[in-house]
Structure 1
């Protein structure tokens, strides 16, 4: 069984044993189970479990930061008196190769205000993205590559 699934099950058991169904208690149970599984990682064949968990939390944090920044930018665009927007679709060259990673990247892009993943090429090398403002396509591509895509590759290597 996947170590993440075991950690989630252990966290749910923690919530049941403590009798406190709160998000804080669930997160605390997950943290405890992560630490416990990290201590016995050689026995359960998960040498990089703690490192991967930290990288996953880092990916979630990056998403939340990008979500806030994008929401702020879109809100500023909407309330500005002159919306000087250049909407369009651009081709994003993918570095990630596995279906799961491509799907995760596409979903993170779609969940960020102002962008929408439209399609993936047949050979899975290009992701087509619609942006509310395509005035700096190269900058947007660089931000995605150095942000979401890099964190996904680090987390799921």
Structure 2
């Protein structure tokens, strides 16, 4: 993820936290958040692994990188909407599970194999799993290839593992790679 993307995220968070949603205020708050985010990134640069503001490695690549911004923004919006949909579905499943007899519940821990490699990708996936009611990320194997996940209700172990791989893991890969 480029520092520019992080700056856009910081500006968006600033707008949300300010809570002023009139059109003129939205623009001015976003610009202020962007400038504050840039200052924060500039101060934190020695501690960040990535030193480039854009993904481009040369001036020739910059137009291509800038052209990809709308696509990347759309991917983040889509990522957020799909996560919210899954969050709502999981809440409904938990309510049904809590109100149903204990015999219908089958909790357990599954080892989900990972294709993700970076700390950021694995952390985002683990947090998404934990934030979704009914699942909890417990541990990561030493070789960082398996994530152990607690499920409130296991229907089919292979299907539940594949749901995480095809859902959250695929989305994380789309947004961060």
CA contact 2:110–2:157 (8 Å) conserved in 1: yes
Alignment correspondent of 1:155: 175
Q: CA, structure 1 residues 155+88, in 2 after alignment: closer, same or farther (shift >3 Å)?
A: same
Alignment correspondent of 1:36: none
Q: CA, structure 1 residues 115+9, in 2 after alignment: closer, same or farther (shift >3 Å)?
A: closer
Where in structure 2 are there 5+ consecutive unaligned residues? 32-60
Q: Which moved more, 1:118-127 or 1:49-58?
A: 49-58
Shift of 1:123: 0.6
Alignment correspondent of 2:69: 49
1:122 and 2:122 equivalent?
no
CA contact 2:20–2:26 (8 Å) conserved in 1: no
How many pairs align? 144
Deviation per CA, 1:38-68, whole angstroms, max 9, x where unpaired? Answer: xxx9369544222111111111111100000
- Scaled by the length of structure 2, the TM-score of the pair is 0.69
1:59 and 2:79 equivalent?
yes
Q: CA, structure 1 residues 24+5, in 2 after alignment: closer, same or farther (shift >3 Å)?
A: farther
Deviation per CA, 1:69-91, whole angstroms, max 9, x where unpaired? Answer: 01001101111245411111110
2-structure distance, mates of 1:128, 1:27 = 45
Shift of 1:29: 3.6
Matching residue within 110, 130, 140 for 1:90: 110
- Scaled by the length of structure 1, the TM-score of the pair is 0.77
Shift of 1:8: 5.1
Deviation per CA, 1:92-135, whole angstroms, max 9, x where unpaired? Answer: 00011111000000000000000000000011000000011123
Aligned residue for 1:77, secondary structure, equals helix
2-structure distance, mates of 1:23, 1:117 = 35
